[in-house]
Amino acid sequence: MKSIFNRALCILLCVAMIFTVTACSGNSATPQAGDQDGKFKAGTYTASAKGMGGDVAVEVVLTADKIESVKVTSHKETPGIGDLPIEQLPEKIVEIQGLGVDTVAGATITSNAILAAVTDCLKQAGADTDALKAIKGDAAQKAEDVSLDADVVVVGAGGAGLAAAVTAHQAGSSVIVLEKMPKVGGNTILSGGALNAVDEGSETAIANKDSVEKHYTQTIEGGDKQGDPELVRTLVTNAWDGVEWLKGLGMEFKPGVFTVLGGMWPRAHKPVDPVGTGFFNTYMKYIDANDNIKVMLNTKATELVVKDGKVSGVIAKGETGNKVTLNAKKGVVLATGGFAGNVEMRQKYNTKWPKLDDSIKSTNHSGATGDGILLAETVNAELVQMENIQLLPMGDPKTGSLSGNIEQGVENRIFVNDEGDRFVDEGARRDVMTAALFEQPNNHMWIVLDSHDYPTGDEKNNFNESVNELIAEGRAFKGETLEELAAKIGVNPEKLSAAVEDFNKHVDGKEKDSFGRTLYKDKIDKGPFYAAPRVPTVHHTMGGVKINKDAQVLDKNAKVIPRLYAAGEVTGGIHGTNRLGGNALTDILVFGRIAGAAAAQAK
């Protein structure tokens, strides 16, 4: 009897344990979930998907028949880029009760990550996700056509456009900025934030043996003397004044200077805020605090209005397809960026590179399609040096973006190919480095450096990423020794060690580098060691609309087109065949301010 009782008790305990384990497993997979008696199995669900900077995690709360809430609970997306989809997409999914939500232009990867994670949650809840993807919501009703007046109209809300807008407003003009994308920022917000400027006479410039004249000479020579000397002189002599102007608006920079890739000399200033967000935090703070200056998003300029031989306004297409007419009482500024994102245009003008088809990706945002250049052509503007297209050797192998670049400065890293050999002066011009990369196996290389740049691994690179984060995502690799690192990236360990040894013996200046390298700081001798993959990517189009030193657009007869100004990458003739790293943000700042001031004074 006792044996039967014990056996029965054992069976009851086992059954109880099975129920307990089953209940716990259900709660772990779908917390608070209940039975499915409607469209969803009610409960709270979580999932994540790969974004630009890592995993994007979401939480979705469902009732039996409703998507109650969607939240992005964690992410590592770039500030100023991923913010918009993180803010808008969850709200839109709840609003339409479906997944047929458009991605946010310029932030497609982040948008797709959010949609993928939410879809995962809904699948967990037993939903018909195909049916939910078909739900698009009500189409926006077409707004009425509108006509607005301002002293100055700026086309493009990137770095050049907002520099022009703020300057024009400071000069007493009312300003309207048009931006075809759903956010401000352009390429500037994607940049590493490096801005070349020489504070001549400062201790830093003296210690680095730098000067405005040296900046001028290196810019001219770096572009094979094709840059317009007057424009280059304007660029370098007004650079530091631009930095002080930004500081006066409240923008902060880190102390010291560094050499950015292809910058040729340590004169790049780095903002405190990550990537290019500091510029727009500064500009938008000013714009939000002042009257008579506004930004119109999702509004694409389609025509320049000319009256009595003068540019007098812009016609644009609004978000709902309505016509928007902007009447400029004084002047119009084109600041629409370049055409690196327009495969057709870059193939049309390319004369230098093996190919620039869609197999070669770009660092640029999706709106960099040359719109302003095409607009300027309609009013007979002269285009110059359109064939001068810059590539970098620093593209992410999957996206072409600059994110994942582990370098902190030029001086402390080397490049090796897939065999483990150095192949170029890593402090050379950008076009020289990229041309050399095209000659390597698979057009692929590895950046190699050590713990001088990452003492803990948590330090941020120029794109607000730590090497530890990149390693966790499989975008960078770590080895306690060079041999371990070589094994992880698949290169010959003897060749990698020889490449590092060759670099190290030149740091002391005892021997000249066979590739001609001259920029050094620390030896690569402090483990752990790090590496990250890179490929060629289209970065900057140096050709564009021809301007003079006052940012006035010139026609094909070299005459000024009255009341039309241009600044930034939409212009051509400043950088020549090759732009120095760090000079783009200088360009948009200097000529953006000049264009804004000139437009505010136009008659």
Give me the active site residues, please. 430
Residue 440 CA to chain centroid, in angstroms? 26
User: What single DSSP character describes residue 515?
Assistant: T
Cβ count near 325 (within 10 Å): 15
Note whether 476 and 530 are within 8 A (CB).
yes
- Tokens 């016609």 belong to 315
Query: Nearest to residue 156, comparing CAs of 34, 356, 333?
Result: 333
Q: Which residues pair with 72 in a beta bridge?
A: 58
Residues in the chain: 603
User: What single DSSP character describes residue 4?
Assistant: H
544: tokens are 């564009």
Alpha helices in 125-152 (DSSP H): 129-133
Note whether 567 and 211 are within 8 A (CB).
no
36: tokens are 């499915």
| CB-side neighbour CA atoms (13 Å) of 523 | 13
Residue 399 CA to chain centroid, in angstroms? 11
Q: Are strands 445-449 and 414-417 parallel, antiparallel or unpaired?
A: antiparallel
Dist. CA 36–CA 570, nearest whole Å: 56
DSSP 262-287: T--SS-EE-BSSSTTHHHHHHHHHHH
